[in-house]
A and B are shown apart, each in its own frame.
Chain A
Amino acid sequence: MTDNRTDKYKKVAYYPGCALEGTGHAYNRSTKEVGKALGLELEDVKNWNCCGAMEVKNIDPKVQTYLSSRVMSQAVNEMGHSVVMAPCNGCYHNLKKAEYDLKNDETSRQVVDRISAKAGHKTYKAGEIETIHALDWIKHGIGEEGLKSRVKKSLKGMKVANYYGCMYTRPRHIFPEKDKGAGSESTSKPHFMDDLLAAAGAANVDFPLKTACCGGAHTLSDSDMSTKLVLNILKAAEASGANVIATECPTCHSGLEMHQIRAEKKFGVKTNVKILYFTQLLGMALGLSPKKVGVHENMSDSFDLLQQQGLA
């Protein structure tokens, strides 16, 4: 895919989703600050609603398709945008899934049309808007060279395990733009976060669990299993030589943070690897203070490491 994206992504509709207004607030804050620092503009989707997450999808997947379609309808029909950016993997996944369903499934189109009419807004049609992730936004809106030229404090010394989680690349069929060769994202070995952080001076470690399950779905039903899955990710990151795990999903991020603490309390296993959103790392590389990118809102206390690296 080449490319008018540098211009196209300069100003996009922003769909934070519910997690970024709650546990993932630091991701919201750092995404917005990085955007400002890079000259990329975000405009909140007006009167946005839940993407359908897992709760609605489990009861009626067509209603989830509708909910996600309404977000896209707001962005395109009410605001005139051609691109909507969702930094949360769950939201990103659901909008992409809705796009796929509306393109390929007549029943989904009928359901969405019916509920949209009842709700009194224009029905979203497949292809009217492009849904992207925060990684796409920076990777194609600015690019590695653009990022490099703006770095004020190199991330040199940060050894990063990039953790993408399972929703960013799965299932493959809802991400037709991925796996298209050079310049596109890979569903088996994603690398956009690696590329951006390397451009900011970080050293990425070879991390085999970058798309592995974080146990998010087990958190309430079987917390011990979630803790074991997370602990395994943390141990693998440390064994890879990382001193920080970079995340790009609020569910994975809070799971890693909470279960890191729980692993110590419940199983007596302490891990020292720090957990930061990739936007927080990029923000600090761009010269923003840790507070500006919400490091104080994280549960994982990375202040000592940031100080050692000259970032705080």
Chain B
Amino acid sequence: MRSLAAIGDVLEGGVADATPAENARDLLHLGEEVLEHWLHAKGLKPTASKAEGFRLLGLHRQGAKGDPSFNACRETCRELVYHYNLITMAPDDSESAQRLVMMRLVASHVYYFVSGKMQSAQLGEFCCSSRDLRLKQAS
């Protein structure tokens, strides 16, 4: 598994010289790796199970268990899957290149969200937060 910094470099770099479908597969896999980092940081073994046909969504579901604020990236993960489907189901579509640009931005959002959350996991419940800390303080 690549480090988060290495994943960031890939996302901030240019589009790889590959077909749209290959690029889409890479971006989906990259999203999975980002979520694997989140799960490792929580001391969990990332699941191999799929949700709605995708491991990415299985990993998201696992990562949000007991940490509802992680759901702030649920729809972004689903958008990643949606763009993957758009590209791989019609790779020769004239809009594939544009869809790939958008998929990269969506993948970047998952990356920034999870990276930020891992850096400051105890900010508060408002958004990206540590529910544990809040509850400990309240008790």
Listed in ascending order, the chain A residues whose CB lies under 8 Å from chain B are 53-55, 57-62, 90, 166-167, 170-171, 188-189, 208-213, 215-218, 221-222, 225-226, 228-229, 232-233, 235-236, 239-240
* Chain B contact residues, majority secondary structure: helix
Q: Within the complex, which residue of B73, B105, B113, B124 is in contact with A58, where a contact is CB–CB below 8 Å?
A: B124
Task: Tell me, yes or no, whether B71 is within 8 Å of chain A by CB.
Answer: yes
What are 22 A-B residue pairs whose CB atoms fall within 8 Å in the complex? A53-B126, A54-B125, A58-B124, A58-B126, A58-B133, A61-B125, A166-B127, A189-B75, A208-B82, A209-B105, A212-B75, A213-B73, A213-B113, A213-B127, A216-B127, A217-B123, A218-B123, A225-B115, A229-B109, A229-B116, A232-B108, A232-B112
| With A232-B108, A239-B102, A239-B105: A213-B72 Cβ-Cβ less than 8 Å | yes
Task: Tell me, yes or no, whether B91 is within 8 Å of chain A by CB.
Answer: no
User: With a CB–CB cut-off of 8 A, which chain A residues contact B76?
Assistant: 208-209, 212-213
Is there contact, CB below 8 Å, between A209 and B72? Answer: no
Is there contact, CB below 8 Å, between A228 and B112? Answer: yes
Cα–Cα, bound, A210→B74 (Å):
12
Q: Within the complex, which residue of B79, B82, B112, B137 is in contact with A225, where a contact is CB–CB below 8 Å?
A: B112
Chain A residue with Cβ nearest B75: A211
| With A61-B138, A216-B127: A235-B113 Cβ-Cβ less than 8 Å | no
Task: Tell me, yes or no, whether B40 is within 8 Å of chain A by CB.
Answer: no
Task: Tell me, yes or no, whether B49 is within 8 Å of chain A by CB.
Answer: no
Most buried by A among B108, B109, B115, B137: B109
Distance (whole angstroms) from the CB of A125 to the closest CB of chain B: 23
Q: Within the complex, which residue of A60, A208, A210, A218 is in contact with B128, where a contact is CB–CB below 8 Å?
A: A218
Is there contact, CB below 8 Å, between A57 and B126? Answer: yes
Cα–Cα, bound, A54→B122 (Å):
12
Cα–Cα, bound, A175→B126 (Å):
17
Task: Tell me, yes or no, whether B62 is within 8 Å of chain A by CB.
Answer: no
Task: Tell me, yes or no, whether B15 is within 8 Å of chain A by CB.
Answer: no
Task: Tell me, yes or no, whether B58 is within 8 Å of chain A by CB.
Answer: no
| With A166-B72, A212-B75: A217-B112 Cβ-Cβ less than 8 Å | no
Is there contact, CB below 8 Å, between B116 and A58? Answer: no
Q: Within the complex, which residue of B71, B73, B78 is in contact with A171, where a contact is CB–CB below 8 Å?
A: B71
Chain A residue with Cβ nearest B115: A225
Is there contact, CB below 8 Å, between A222 and B106? Answer: no
Cα–Cα, bound, A57→B125 (Å):
7
Q: Within the complex, which residue of B109, B115, B125, B137 is in contact with A209, where a contact is CB–CB below 8 Å?
A: B109
User: With a CB–CB cut-off of 8 A, which chain A residues contact B112?
Assistant: 215, 225, 228-229, 232
Cα–Cα, bound, A53→B127 (Å):
11
Chain B residue with Cβ nearest A54: B126
What string of 1s and 0s marks CB contacts (under 8 Å) between B79-103 and chain A? 1001100000000000000100110
Is there contact, CB below 8 Å, between A222 and B116? Answer: yes
| With A213-B73, A222-B120, A236-B106: A59-B113 Cβ-Cβ less than 8 Å | no
Is there contact, CB below 8 Å, between A229 and B82? Answer: no
Cα–Cα, bound, A269→B109 (Å):
17
Q: Within the complex, which residue of B71, B109, B124, B138 is in contact with A170, where a contact is CB–CB below 8 Å?
A: B71
Distance (whole angstroms) from the CB of A85 to the closest CB of chain B: 21
